[in-house]
Amino acid sequence: MVPDPTAATNAATAAPFGSCHVHLHDPSTIVQCGGQFWVFYTGHGIPSYHSKDLKTWEPGPRVFTSAPAWTDPVAPGDNFWAPDIIHQGNRYLLYYAVSKFGRNESAIGLASNPTLDPGDPQFHWTDEGLVVRSTATNDFNAIDPAVCREVDGELWLAFGSFWSGIKLIPLDAETGKAAVADSRMYSLAHNDSIEASYIYFHDHYYYLFVNWGLCCRGTNSTYEIRVGRSGKITGPYHDADGVDMMTDGGTLFLKSNGEFIGPGHAGIITENGADWFSCHFYDGTRRGMSTLAILPLQWRTNGWPQISDPK
């Protein structure tokens, strides 16, 4: 029997479901380097964890020991938000947000490194500066970057939080910065509480995962993950009922269940032929501590993703 494509995933019946037992918020896409998996997350200097098996995680170095000078006029301090990372050419490109909570005076920056292994002599993070910025006069918010690669190899950056929703811009594949030749900004999805986008290509479709609801409230958080898909990375994206994501469309994919509360910031990694879905959640057994989860991901016969039975 094929599950209803509009049904929410309810497999998370307890906090241990998918838990990696490490405290983080807004995890990046998980990437590999030198036999290790790496994930970056919100915090001073952009901290990291690494693992050999996706199960046992250890703290890694921070990206920055001090905030790049260009970030100070945007938001003083170095509490950078919601990083994302991709391996492009001979470098790792890490995008991160600079902002203050509840404001759209924000920016997305870029740092690069030839390796993520701190024991490698080539290990060195380079500040590549500003990628995109929003101000109080804009109708969008330049936070929650999500970098993605199109089938033809082109790079794109999705971002956005509240305001007019999720945006997408092309990137220069060589520099990782905004493409000068095409400065168009595409609108992908909108909802009164939308943010934390992520785009993943699977079997002829680009899938757009987004968060609805409110984060950062521990066990009172209302985050849930919605999804739509499109044949083109620039959209339009529609949910399983055919509703455009620009008009509140979005099929419910993952929600709170029991002590598994407020899942957010989607990511997908393939390992040994299997797909795994990463996110954070608020652990009801640990007073709402934000925690990394890695969940088994399957694709239904109709193409829509679902979290499979954790057993």
Is position 195 annotated as part of the catalytic site? yes
What confidence tens digit (pLDDT) does each residue in 22-71 have? 999 999 999 999 899 999 999 999 999 999 999 999 999 999 999 999 99
Residue 161 lies in a domain: yes
User: Which of 181-185, 216-220, 301-305 has the least mean pLDDT?
Assistant: 181-185
Residue 150 lies in a domain: yes
Write the CA distances from 257 to 8, 142, 160, 273, integer angstroms: 10, 31, 26, 28
Cis status of the peptide bond prior to 236, with omega within 30 of 0: yes
User: Which of 174-183, 246-255, 259-268 has the least mean pLDDT?
Assistant: 174-183
**pLDDT at residue number 8:** 42
**pLDDT at residue number 308:** 79
Residue 46 lies in a domain: yes
Nearest to 234 by CA among 208, 265, 196: 208
Residue 8 lies in a domain: no
> How many domains in the chain?
1
Cα(272)–Cα(250) distance, integer angstroms: 30
Residue of 78, 128, 144, 195 marked active site: 195
Residue 254 lies in a domain: yes
Residue 6 lies in a domain: no
Nearest to 111 by CA among 182, 28, 216: 28
Contacts of 28 (CB under 8 A, 6+ apart): 39, 40, 41, 83, 84, 85, 94, 267
Q: Which residues pair with 214 in a beta bridge?
A: none
CA atoms within 13 A on the CB side of 46: 27
- Whole-number mean pLDDT of the chain? 92
User: Which of 93-107, 161-175, 218-232 has the least mean pLDDT?
Assistant: 93-107
Is position 26 annotated as part of the catalytic site? yes
User: Which of 56-65, 115-124, 173-182, 261-270 has the least mean pLDDT?
Assistant: 173-182
Could you say which DSSP state residue 161 is in?
A: B
Judge whether residue 13 has pLDDT over 50: no
Mean pLDDT of 296-301: 95
Residue of 26, 84, 224, 239 marked active site: 26
* Strand arrangement, sheet containing 43-44: 43-44, 79-88, 91-98, 106-113, 126-134
What residue numbers bound the domain in which 262 lies? 19-307
Mean pLDDT of 288-297: 96
Residue 226 lies in a domain: yes
Q: What is the rounded end-to-end Cα distance, in angstroms, of the chain?
A: 19
Residue 206 lies in a domain: yes
What CATH number did the domain enclosing 184 receive? 2.115.10.20
